Each structure stands twice: as C-alpha cells, then as structure tokens.
Structure 1
C-alpha cells in the first residue's frame, strides 16, 4: 500500500478536504497501476503521456498518480477555485512532485485542445442539489466549496459535460477514471457510453455510511 501524500500545509477553509471519495480514488488507482503502466509503456513510439485532473482540490490525486503510478508523464490540472489551484501546486512540491506539472484555472476544461489527454482523473461534485452556487457569488464571498460538492440535478450536471466531451479531448489510447455515487445512476451512464463506442468497466466501489461510491474506467 503506497502512502497517502501529505496535505498538512492545506487550508481547508476554501479547499475540499480529502475524504472517503478521495481515498477510494487512490486505492483503486493503485489497483489499476499495472494496467496503466502497460498501456503507456512505449513512450518512444506514442510520446510521453499527458495526465489531466479535473477539479484538483488539494491536488492529492495528481500527486499520488505522479509519485506511484506514472511518474514519467506530463501533468495538468484544472480548477475554478483559485485557492485549489495554488494548493495543488504546493501539495505536489511538498511531496517531491514533478516540475512537469501545471495548473489552469478554468471552468472544467475550457481552452484545452482536442485529442490531447491520455489519462483523465475526475472526482466530480456529485451530490444532488436543486441550486448551485454561482461563480459571481463565489468571487464576492470567496467561498468556493459548493463547486467541489454540489452536482445539480441527480448530481450529474458537471459530469455530463465531461462525458459529452470525452470524444473531443481524449487520445485514441486514452483512459478516463470518473467517480460516481449511487444516485448518479452509474449503470445507466455506463450503458449510454458503451452505446457511444466506449469500453466501460467498474473498477471498484465502497459503501460509505449511507452512500455507495464507485469509480469507472472509460477507454476506447
């Protein structure tokens, strides 16, 4: 079992604190380590892989992935929260992180070019909510945590945007890891994405109090 990256430097007043969903992500990525390393083993022909994490938060997932899963990759993270962008870079540096890591403050992945991502990591805001906080109100109040938690109707408002854009941003060898809660209806999502030509596999799940969280792999 690989150690969890240290986040003792993080101010959790404005950045999502790693919780059961984060630790499930780390555990299952560790189980996927051989699959990922084999898939991207021949960088001489296919080029150095690019890893993108959407919604970095504390940066713990990207840091773990760099340290233990695919250390030779190039890393990019996005987050709408300015505190998260700064914190993720600090987490990487505090855990012997890579200099080949940069952060883009943006809404999901605006500005990314097509066919550029080899590995996508996404622990989305998945909690169902009728009302989402607005970008403008977050700027005024400097309160960004709703963006890390609330996923709108069925908790899928943000995740649906990501799923719809996978064909645009992912390379042919690309693989995406996305977390869902039970109320997101991941089985229905998997069927819909399979119908679109993706290979979809649930790599694991965990019951946490009243919720069931699962992580699914999407590949071509």
Structure 2
C-alpha cells in the first residue's frame, strides 16, 4: 500500500517563514503509513498536530484514517495557519486553524465529540496558513491553532488519541534570528523546545493515545525514549538523510 502525499503550496511570503516539507516530514509520513492499520483500529476521535507548518502531516493522517474527519492545527505563525487551511482545501480536507503559543488559545475546545477531530498547532502564522491550504488541497478538514507547544491545552487532557510533533531539533548555540530559523533551531542538544512538551504529553493522551515525535541522533535518543512520564517510547523508524540521522519515536501508555 502506498498512500498519496498531500498536495500543498507555499506562496512567496510563506516560503520565508513556513517550514517546507523535507526529509523529516516524509519520514514521519512513512511512519504513519507503516502503522496505519493499527491507527485505524484505534478509531481515533481527536488528532492534534503541534507546529503544523505546511499542514501536510495533518492532511495525510486524516486522509489515511478516512471517515468524516475534523482536524485542528495550532501554530503561533499566522502564515503557517493560512498555509495549513489552504493545504486542507487543496486536498478536500477541512482544517480549522487556531493561533496559539504551544497550547494557549485552545479554551474553546473544551467540549469535543462526534467524528474524528484533528488539531494542528504552530507558533508561525505562515505555517498555519500553509497547513490550511494543504488540507484544502487534499480534501481534509484540519482545525489550526496558533500556539507555542501545548500551552492552553488543558481542555484536551486525556482526550487526544493521536499526537504529532516535528519539533525544532537541530542543536544551536544562539537564539533564532528569524521565524524560519525558529522552525528548526532547537537550542542546546536540540532539546529546548521538545523538553518543554514531553512532561505534558501523558496528560494530553487518551487511554489509547499515541504520540509520534521526530528526533535527531544528537538529541540523545536513549534519553528521549525515557523522557515521557508514564509512557513507553520506542523507535518505530529511522533514516540517514545526508549528515542527519533521523528517528521517529512512538510513545504509548505503559
């Protein structure tokens, strides 16, 4: 089985601030495809992507899960939210975007039910715009939220069935100088952003929930596998891409 890669497009403004799909993106898509039968068996109701960028991950997962899917995407970057909505439009998927810092701004999601719902978050407005467009291109509904990590997600505690995060993971010594650098600059050991989220993941996931995280070899993979309280981490896929050795870590409840 080979699932199609969602359509997406970034305009000239978005290209300056939204992370375009790259090797790490496609590795995450491959990991999702590898697990798709199992993910379908979970009968997920809520899907959340933090830092949605172009939106193709949310669009891909929603198309693969099938059914009447509603997706939510969060990002602090308005351009990312616009891109995500357009991605949804291009793919026949409705993606609702919410601008937030991690999870701030999600208070209105307190009451959620019905069919599959997907959320995608990103701090970058350009990335959210791209995610919406990716959803549109692929006929997938994705709700996008501008946020920094998961600030404000307390109303989603123990409700998220599939959580996705491709964080800034590249080790850097200085603060990012622009929005695009913020997409990949991970600070010391490439862990500054992801380490803010990991302690919160267990509270977000439902009893059957699963969390997919993109990581780099220099992020200390053995430590990452043990860094989500109450969750068991395993490497589900890895790939060398030039000088980078990329991993997809899957966390489930013990």
CA separation of 1:192 and 1:55: change in aligned 2, threshold 3 A:
closer
Q: Which has the higher helix share?
A: 1
Tell me the TM-score normalised to structure 1 length.
Answer: 0.86
1:109-148 alignment to 2 at 5 Å?
Answer: 109-112=150-153, 113=155, 114-133=157-176, 143-148=178-183
SS in structure 2 opposite 1:98? strand
- Are 1:101 and 2:142 matched, yes or no? yes
TM-score (structure 2 length as normaliser): 0.75
What runs of 5+ residues in structure 2 fail to find an aligned partner?
96-140
Distance 1:88 1:156, change over 3 A: same
1:200 maps to 2:233: yes
Match of residue 47 from structure 2: 51
Three-state SS of the structure 1 residue aligned to 2:94 is coil
Alpha-carbon deviation of 1:73? 4.0
Partner of 2:71: helix, strand, or coil?
strand
Partner of 1:215: 248
C-alpha distance in structure 1 between counterparts of 2:33 and 2:76, whole Å: 27
- How do 1:174-193 and structure 2 match up within 5 A? 174-193=209-228
**Equivalences, count:** 203
The offset of 1:154, in angstroms, is 0.5
Q: Secondary structure at the match of 2:214?
A: strand
Change (3 A) 1:128 1:159: same
Unaligned runs of 5+ in 1: 41-47, 135-142
Change (3 A) 1:173 1:145: same
Structure 1 consecutive aligned stretches of length 4 or more whose deviation exceeds 6 Å: none
CA RMSD of aligned residues (A): 1.7
Query: Shift of residue 13 of structure 1?
Result: 1.9
The 8 Å contact of residues 176 and 217 in structure 1, kept in 2 or not, is answered as: yes
Q: Which moved more, 1:65-74 or 1:91-100?
A: 65-74
Matched, 1:61 2:57: yes
1:51, 1:73 within 8 Å by CA — same for their partners in 2? no
Q: Is the 8 A contact 2:199 2:227 kept in 1?
A: no
Q: Deviations over 1:45-64 (max 9, x none)?
A: xxx61100010000010010
8 Å contact kept, 2:18–2:54: yes
The answer to whether 1:2 aligns with 2:43 is no
Separation of aligned partners in 2, 1:8 and 1:214: 26
Q: Which residue of 2 aligns with 1:173?
A: 208
